[in-house]
C-alpha cells in the first residue's frame, strides 16, 4: 500500500483515541494531550495529499479514502460535541445531510466524467467550492471551531464557569462553520442538477 493511503487510514485509529480522551477523560493533562492529537488528526489530512503529490502516488482509491476519512472525522466530532452538550442537535444533522447530498451528486457527476471540483460550471460555484482560498478558509474554520469547542470542554471540567464565558466564542465559530458549509454546498446542488437534466449528456459531449 502506498504511503499516502497509509497516512489516510492511520487517521481512523487516531480518531478513536481522540474520542476516548474527549468523552471519557476528566484530567486536564489528558485533555491537553487530546487537543494536540486533534491537531495531528487534521495535519495528517494535509500530509496525505502532500505525500501523494510529491511521490506521484495520487489515485482514485486515495481520493475515495481521503474523502471518506474527512467525512468520518468531521461528522463523528460534531456528534461527539453534541453528546457533550456543546452544539445543538441540528448542527451535526446539517453536516450529515450536506455530506450525503453533495457526495451523492459528485458520484453522479463522476459517471459523466466530471470528477471532484471539475463538475462546477458557474464562476461563483467554482470560487465557493473549488478555489484554493475557499477550501483553505473552510478547512481552517473547522479546525479552529473544533479546537475552541475542545478547549471549552477541557476548561469547563476544571471550572464550570469557563463554559459560560467561552460559549459565545465557540458558538460564534460554530455558526461561521455552518454558514460556510451551506454556502459551499448550495452551488454543488445547483450545478449538480444539470447532471440530472434530460439532454445534458448530448449538450456536454456533442453528437
The string of pLDDT tens digits covering residues 90-128 is 999 999 999 999 988 888 887 777 777 778 888 898 999
The reply to whether 60 and 158 lie within a common domain is no
Asked which of 69, 98, 114 is the last residue of a domain, the reply is 69
Q: How far apart are CA 146 and CA 152, in angstroms?
A: 10
Buried b (16+ CB within 10 A) or exposed e, 74-102: bebbbbbbbeeebbeeebbebbeebbeeb
Quote the domain boundaries for residue 21: 1-69
d(CA 89, CA 96): 11
Task: Please tell me whether residues 114 and 52 are part of one structural domain.
Answer: no
Mean pLDDT over the full length of the chain: 85
Q: Count structural domains, the chain.
A: 2
Distance CA 85, CA 16 (A): 20
The Cα 157–Cα 8 span in angstroms is 32
Domain boundary among 9, 44, 69: 69
C-alpha cell at 190: 445547483
Q: State how far the Cα of 55 lies from the Cα of 160, in Å rounded to an integer.
A: 48
Residue 159 lies in a domain: yes
Q: Which residues contact 195 (CB under 8 A, 6 or more apart)?
A: 105, 108, 109, 112, 114, 119
Residue 123 within any structural domain of the chain: yes
In this structure, the answer to whether residues 46 and 2 fall within a common structural domain is yes
Percentage of residues in the chain having pLDDT higher than 90: 45
Q: Which of 5-9, 37-41, 104-108 has the lowest mean pLDDT?
A: 5-9
Please check whether residue 80 lies inside any domain of the structure: no
In a domain, 21, yes or no: yes
Query: Are residues 206 and 163 part of one domain?
Result: yes
Say yes or no: 128 and 206 in one domain.
Answer: yes
Average pLDDT over residues 164-187: 93
Amino acid at each position: 500500500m502506498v504511503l499516502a493511503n497509509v497516512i489516510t487510514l492511520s487517521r481512523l485509529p487516531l480518531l478513536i483515541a481522540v474520542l476516548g480522551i474527549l468523552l471519557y477523560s476528566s484530567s486536564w493533562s489528558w485533555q491537553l494531550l487530546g487537543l494536540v492529537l486533534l491537531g495531528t488528526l487534521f495535519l495528517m489530512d494535509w500530509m496525505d495529499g502532500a505525500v501523494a503529490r510529491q511521490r506521484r502516488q495520487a489515485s482514485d482509491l486515495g481520493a475515495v479514502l481521503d474523502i471518506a476519512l474527512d467525512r468520518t472525522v468531521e461528522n463523528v466530532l460534531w456528534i461527539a460535541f453534541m453528546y457533550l452538550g456543546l452544539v445543538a442537535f441540528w448542527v451535526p444533522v446539517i453536516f450529515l445531510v450536506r455530506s450525503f447530498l453533495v457526495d451523492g451528486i459528485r458520484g453522479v457527476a463522476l459517471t459523466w466524467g466530471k470528477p471532484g471540483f471539475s463538475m462546477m460550471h458557474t464562476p461563483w460555484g467554482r470560487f465557493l467550492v473549488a478555489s484554493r482560498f475557499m477550501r483553505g478558509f473552510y478547512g481552517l474554520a473547522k479546525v479552529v471551531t473544533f479546537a475552541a469547542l475542545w478547549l471549552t470542554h477541557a476548561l469547563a471540567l476544571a471550572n464550570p464557569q469557563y463554559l459560560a464565558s467561552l460559549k459565545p466564542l465557540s458558538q460564534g465559530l460554530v455558526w461561521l462553520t455552518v454558514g460556510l458549509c451551506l454556502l459551499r454546498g448550495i452551488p454543488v446542488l445547483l450545478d449538480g442538477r444539470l447532471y440530472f437534466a434530460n439532454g445534458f449528456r448530448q449538450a456536454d459531449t456533442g453528437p
